Structure 1
Amino acid sequence: MGWTADDIPNQDGRRIVVTGANSGIGLEATRELARNGATVIMTCRSVDRGEEAASNIRADIPNADLRVEACDLGDLESIHAFADRLDDADLDVLINNAGVMAIPRSETADGFETQFGVNHLGHFALTGLLLETLGLDEESDSRIITVSSGVHERGEIDFDDLQSEQSYDPWDAYAQSKLANVLFAYELERRLLTADATAKSIAVHPGYANTQLQFRGPEQRGSRLRKAAMWVMNTVLAQSAAMGALPALYAATAPEAEGGAYYGPGGVMNMRGTPERQASSERSYDEETARRLWAASSDLTGVTYDLPEPKAEVSA
């Protein structure tokens, strides 16, 4: 039958941060983690929407241990403020889930193209700022989960135009940001291994899950036709958000989940079904691209990691 939420081991005593926890995959992941005893810190751009989501979960799970925190992944000041509020808290898991998809070009508070800024740079900064809270030097089972997308397979990292200022296509920008997610997850794992840290960095994708994410692009364009078409596709082709959350839940909780792996639905075209380990795109394994992206991300965000750079592989 495959791994489901019923297989989540007891999470009592574990503290987990989920970004974008007020809707979609983040909401469903939060629900199942809380159901199994975790303390979940729900980061949301809107505290009001976050509190509404928390109330929704508590109606289902009265003893859910939830904490709603403001954190706008498109604003480095907000990310720093959130990290400062958690700097004395020990964390076990960080699920980098929040994101935007295929929206008209706009910029974050810091002048980054929004999809690259929110989906990648915001999570790069947040992870770096929370790294010390994740027990890297202890015998712990801490994990950093980065949620990508199957669309990363069409992505390329354009170092000459990272912010899509010269040319912008909503889907190309989205694909670049999702490829950046996988490159980041793999490079973080290499650096953790080089540091002999016990934490794991794992990439996942939800397949095609029915969430509000798909509607934001058509809504921002004011396109009723595209919104209607997306509704039909979501109704006919997509799996539920709860199913889409399973790869992240597996990576975050399953004892057998491996660092440096990529997990996604194992059904038709990897769009639906229970989680399995999969291969990501050929570009995602390019270590030189990953190192360049890491350096660029650190320069852009001003966030550095106290981790050694892995040694480059030497060809025979």
Structure 2
Amino acid sequence: MPTNERSGELAVVTGASGGIGEQIAAGLARTGATVVLVARDRTRLDLARDRIRRAVPGADLETEAVDLSNLAGVGALADRLGERAPSVVVSNAAVIAPLDDRTPDGMHRSLVTNHLAPYLLLRRLAERPTDAPRRFVVVGASPTGLARTPVDLDDLDPRSGRGLGWPPSFRPFVAYARTKNMNAMFVYALASRLAGTATTVNGAHPGIIRGDLGRDTRGALKAFGALCGVLAADTVTGADTPVWLATSREAEGVTGEFFVKRRAVRTAPHTTDPERVERLWRESARLVGLPAEHVPSPGPHPTGS
């Protein structure tokens, strides 16, 4: 049975129809929170909800079938959730899409799903006035593994193919890696804008986890994914740090950090450079149709480091 620790609170998890996202949702459900599972496929969402209810009897679960590569749908989701003031939002959804896989807005599906969707969702929620503590967690990737794939700020939506390497079948993974560096940069940018409020923002690397991020991959990338699958940890292990950041007393008040195995770590200098971080923020705002300026919501300063 769920505990009553967070009874009455609302938590949101994107990419919750399987894998790490499902396990994060289950972990939050165990605290007694009402958990909204967000993913594209309604059938898979319903199956995940049923699995969580079997694992966590009495879990209070809701589903939102939203395609996070559709910015209009993400904006509508932000409106619906904003009315309910969630206290926890875990942005977990991510894909590795072929470079020619474009959204209705004409942008690369990995860019939209992995970066622009959390940018739009969390920013819109953050700008909702509240005095209540909130925790935003963005699931990223290995800071060590990403150190050699800096974001190309002149080619966010990878059309030129510049710097994506060889062989061509591996390029979607490099584009994906860039979006994961965008996740860290977004964490730092949003946390700095929310300094002095009751909302904290942190990133987390779940480890190399079995999943279907690369279900559309082929060639060398497909072989690489198969090898990673042999070495990967289970999804319960991957969910540990995001759930800890979202619920633990140790993480209360901590903001603007990136965590691996519950420990704050440094990410690559190209992700922390203030000019680069600000430029990504402004370009992301342009792509989602928001002003570059951010209006932080009121609230007391977080207690903690």
Establish whether TM, by shorter chain, passes 0.5. Answer: yes
TM-score, L = length of structure 1: 0.83
- The answer to whether the Cα contact below 8 Å between 1:104 and 1:217 also exists between their aligned partners in 2 is no
Q: Distance in 1 between matches of 2:100 and 2:241?
A: 29
Structure 1 residues without counterparts, runs of 5 or longer: 1-7, 266-274, 309-316
- The answer to whether the Cα contact below 8 Å between 1:91 and 1:134 also exists between their aligned partners in 2 is no
- The answer to whether the Cα contact below 8 Å between 2:97 and 2:109 also exists between their aligned partners in 1 is no
1:161 matches 2:155: yes
1:226 Cα deviation (Å)?
5.9
Counterparts of residues 294-309 of structure 1 (less than 5 Å):
294-304=281-291, 305-307=294-296
The change in CA–CA distance for 1:190 and 1:229 in structure 2 (over 3 A counts) is: closer
Hey, what does 1:200 align to over in structure 2? Answer: 200
1:154 Cα deviation (Å)?
2.4
Hey, what does 1:280 align to over in structure 2? Answer: 267
Name the Cα RMSD after superposition: 2.2
1:126 Cα deviation (Å)?
1.0
1:104 Cα deviation (Å)?
4.4
1:263 matches 2:262: no
1:206 Cα deviation (Å)?
0.8
Percent of aligned positions with the same letter in both sequences?
A: 33
Hey, what does 2:133 align to over in structure 1? Answer: 141
Structure 2 residues without counterparts, runs of 5 or longer: 165-170, 298-305
Hey, what does 2:167 align to over in structure 1? Answer: none
- The answer to whether the Cα contact below 8 Å between 2:99 and 2:108 also exists between their aligned partners in 1 is no
Q: Name the SS for the 2:194 alignment partner.
A: helix
The change in CA–CA distance for 1:76 and 1:14 in structure 2 (over 3 A counts) is: same
Q: Distance in 2 between matches of 1:69 and 1:186?
A: 28
1:178 Cα deviation (Å)?
0.6
1:77 matches 2:69: no
- The answer to whether the Cα contact below 8 Å between 2:69 and 2:109 also exists between their aligned partners in 1 is yes
Q: Distance in 1 between matches of 2:52 and 2:96?
A: 25
Hey, what does 2:178 align to over in structure 1? Answer: 176
- The answer to whether the Cα contact below 8 Å between 1:144 and 1:201 also exists between their aligned partners in 2 is yes
Q: Distance in 1 between matches of 2:227 and 2:272?
A: 35
Give the alignment partner of residue 191 of structure 1, picking from 174, 183, 193. Answer: 193
Aligned length, in residue pairs: 282
Counterparts of residues 123-138 of structure 1 (less than 5 Å):
123-133=118-128, 135=130, 138=131
1:230 matches 2:230: no
Structure 1 runs (4+) greater than 3 angstroms displaced: 102-105, 225-233
AA at the equivalent of 1:260: G
Q: Distance in 2 between matches of 1:17 and 1:93?
A: 6
Q: Deviations over 1:9-28 (max 9, x none)?
A: 93222211100011111100
